[in-house]
Structure 1
Amino acid sequence: MKLLILGATGPTGHHVLDLALKAGDTVTVLARRPEALADLADRVTVVAGDATSRDDVAKAMRGQDAVISALGRSRSVRADDLFTRAAAAVTGAAEGTGVSRLVWLSSFGVGDTYRSASPVQKVMYRTFLRDIYANKEISEKAIRSSGLDWTLVYPTTLTKGPAKGTYRVGERLPMRGHPTISRADVADFMHKAAHSPEWIRRDAVITD
């Protein structure tokens, strides 16, 4: 598969990149800092650019079979419109390139998944994460209405733990306490989802 990865230098995107290379995918990465991937120069096509720029995304997207976005704000609690701007860039670029398959990383508690959250989770989502979650929700409305073959992925609290290879995935999952999922396992699901029609136009809640 010819695969474009957005956010490949981030903690989840790095796992996606590793899995794609191990699977033999032909990988393209759009990165603001291409030098961060210098050690993979002979294995990955690195396009310098910004995921919030339609022109930059279109340049990297041409000829791809699918796009995986693992964009995030690291430890920041401010979105700075990253997700809405990136969604506009990706959906706009898709129109011009004809690439329709998109796997997009979100967070559990965004949009309709909020209803399944535990009381403890809801407090976090309404306070500390309010700005980021609001921006993610707007971005996902744009993706849903775009006509793309999207999959929106909603992991619970992300950890740095190793991949277990066993996790729960469903359009709706009951939650108790403070559930977690490793970034490695989220990447595993996202990579598999890009290669399969099973999760097209479906929400995927994922947790241990």
Structure 2
Amino acid sequence: MKLLILGATGPTGRHVVDLALRAGDSVTAFVRNPAALDGLADQVSLATGDATSHRDVSAAMAGQDAVVAALGRGRSVVADDFFTRSSAAVISAAEEAGVSRLVWLSSFGVGHTLAWSSPAQKLIYRTLLRSVYANKAISDESIRSSGLDWTLVYPTRLTHGPAKGTYRAGDRLPMKGNPTISRADVAAFMHQAAHGREWIHRTAVISD
């Protein structure tokens, strides 16, 4: 599969890159700084640019079979319209290029998933993460309304632990406390979803 990975140097995206290479995919890594790929430049096709730029994303989109987007704001709790602008760029570029498959990383607690959150989760989502989650909610609805074969992925609190392979995934999951899931497991789910049809036009909530 020819796979375009957005956010390829991020903490989740890098796991997706590694998994895709091990699976034999032809990987195009969309990055701001190629040096952050740490020696993988000779194993992937590099596309340098801004994920909010239609021109930059469109240039990387041509000839791809699927897109995995693991974009994030790092430690920032200010959205700055990043997710709405990047989703708009990805949707328009994909439609122009005829690339239908998109697996997009969101967050549990965004949009309608807030209703399933535990009290501890709601407190965090409605305060510290309010700006980012509000922007993600708009972005997610834009993707749902697109003509793409989308999958929206809603992980609980992300950790840097190793992949366990025992996570739960469903359209809805019961929550207690403030559960977690490793970025490595999230990446494994996203890569698998991109290769299959089970999760097309579905919201995937995932957690340990």
Q: TM-score, normalised by structure 1?
A: 0.98
Partner Cα separation in structure 2 for residue 14 and residue 57 of structure 1:
18
Partner Cα separation in structure 2 for residue 34 and residue 47 of structure 1:
8
Supply the AA of the counterpart residue of 1:171: D
Structure 1 runs (4+) deviating above 3 angstroms are: none
Aligned to 2:74: 74
Following superposition, the deviation at residue 35 of structure 1 comes to 2.2
Supply the AA of the counterpart residue of 1:129: L
Partner Cα separation in structure 2 for residue 10 and residue 31 of structure 1:
9
The alignment partner of 1:52 has SS state of coil
Map 1:43-122 to 2 at 5 A: 43-122=43-122
Following superposition, the deviation at residue 37 of structure 1 comes to 2.3
Following superposition, the deviation at residue 38 of structure 1 comes to 5.7
Partner Cα separation in structure 2 for residue 8 and residue 41 of structure 1:
12
Partner Cα separation in structure 2 for residue 37 and residue 184 of structure 1:
17
Map 1:1-208 to 2 at 5 A: 1-37=1-37, 39-208=39-208
The alignment partner of 2:46 has SS state of strand
* Equivalent residue pairs, number: 208
Following superposition, the deviation at residue 42 of structure 1 comes to 1.6
After TM superposition, the structure 1 stretch with the greater mean CA deviation from structure 2, 73-82 or 104-113, is: 73-82
Q: TM-score, normalised by structure 2?
A: 0.98
Supply the AA of the counterpart residue of 1:163: A
8 Å contact kept, 2:95–2:148: no
Residues 10-35 of structure 1: per-residue CA shift (max 9 Å, x gap): 00001000000000000001111122
Unpaired runs of 5+ residues, structure 2, are none
C-alpha RMSD of matched pairs (Å): 0.7
